[in-house]
Structure 1
Amino acid sequence: MTLRLAIVEDEAPARARLRRLLAEHADLEVVLEADTLPAALASLPGANADALFLDIALGESTGFDLLDQLPPPWPLLVFATAYHEHALRAFEVAAVDYLLKPFDAPRLAATLDRLRARLADTDPLPAEEDLRRLQAAMPTPAFNPPPLVITERGQRVVVPLDEVTHLVGSGNYVELHTPQRSYLMRATLTQLASRLHPAQFLRVHRSYLVRADQIAALTPRGHGDAELTLRDGTTVMVSRRYREALPEGLRGR
């Protein structure tokens, strides 16, 4: 299978270097290059790209501006940028990887392996009506787990679990989201998942846990992924890899 790639990068030297590194892989084809947001918006929908290498800074615009205007389904996303501070937001839009410039050939090869693995898993997800039906029958945990305690500006803050709608992980930190605000906790998402009841908080992506009773809808996306809409309107990506976290019947067949 040929991996069809698009590159959106405003710096010509960076585009040229990425092309040189990609040329070492025989199963790749660069089908699109764009250096501005308007050029990318005009070309990407018809490019049929499997994956998009996207810079954060695009002149006066950003890669996130592009995603806000790009109609779904998106290609698989890989951010390639010099700005480390946007990593959490990148994974909130379900990026497959986040490459910090200057990255080398082995680091890029690892990213390409991730893309190949994602594209190889293409089973369809169940329809939205299945989600609604099964969520209504989802069992409620028979115990009250203790709240999460975080340190914020030198103070201990107690965050009750029944207020948490979803959790977003990035490295050694997790954002706890409630309807009122979010909190930053020093922990990995895997560590928190081990402390939470698996019927109450579902691991739907390597970067996301969602509270099961907050799920309102599911919309299938490309490459077997989907988008969950929570009751407060928040959207969260669900990865096909984590289908086993969903109740039986929501898993791909």
Structure 2
Amino acid sequence: MSMRVLVVDDEPLARRGITSRLTRHADVELVGEAADGETALAAIVTHAPDLVFMDVQMPGMSGLETLRSLAPSERPMTVFLTAYDRFALHAFEVHALDYLLKPIDDDRFAEALDRARDALVSRRAMAQQPRLQALLAGEPDAPKYAQRFTVRVGHRVAVVAAGEIDWIEAMGDYAGLHVRGKAHLLREPLHKLALRLDPTQFVRIHRSTIVRVDRIAEMQTLSNRDCLLRLRDGTPLRASRTYGEALRTTLAGQPLSASAG
């Protein structure tokens, strides 16, 4: 059983210490590293790690704030890293798996990893139960991704098919579905909606923006490593460099009318 792990710490030496320990375990797959909370959020969405080693104190968004910005059902197992014992209580408030005090003790690290292995076995067994029950009942599997959404248009309720959406933006607790130049409000935060969208069809390009892949006509890389996208209807959208890797991976093989410049 392989366990996918993400390491988040603003100190390169601290990240190296964790990753070097992880390489000693054949069942661990390191899927990425991040130096801040925003990058960590993007990596969690992109790589869906089973386990995250997360520093508590980081510039900007702290490790605790990063985890709190995700819905409980979307949070990976998390082992917090901290130099101060007082953060332990806060770690368990967000249902962290464990926390390690810096400098990290090898035995405590191995203990936290074993705890993660045990928890992962339980998680995967629970995830299989609905599928097994459906198979035993002779029921076909439910669609994995949302195909349509119900939105309110005046006093009416309209149905918007996923294939009709050009792009989506965060609007507080709502998501704005942009369809042929009109925006429809869906009562669902963007970070939750992102998990229900087919990742082969939709890609997150900013913390507050998702775009349908086949609507992208051009992509230009800017001097700060952000990207400027132009959709087929002419809409310009800015893609944060934080999501650049995921964007380029999704666009691989997609015909674009202009390359990065």
TM-score range, shorter chain: 0.3 to 0.5
Q: Which has the larger radius of gyration?
A: 2
Which one has more relative contact order, counting CA pairs under 8 Å at least 6 apart? 1
> What is the TM-score with the length of structure 1 in the denominator?
0.47
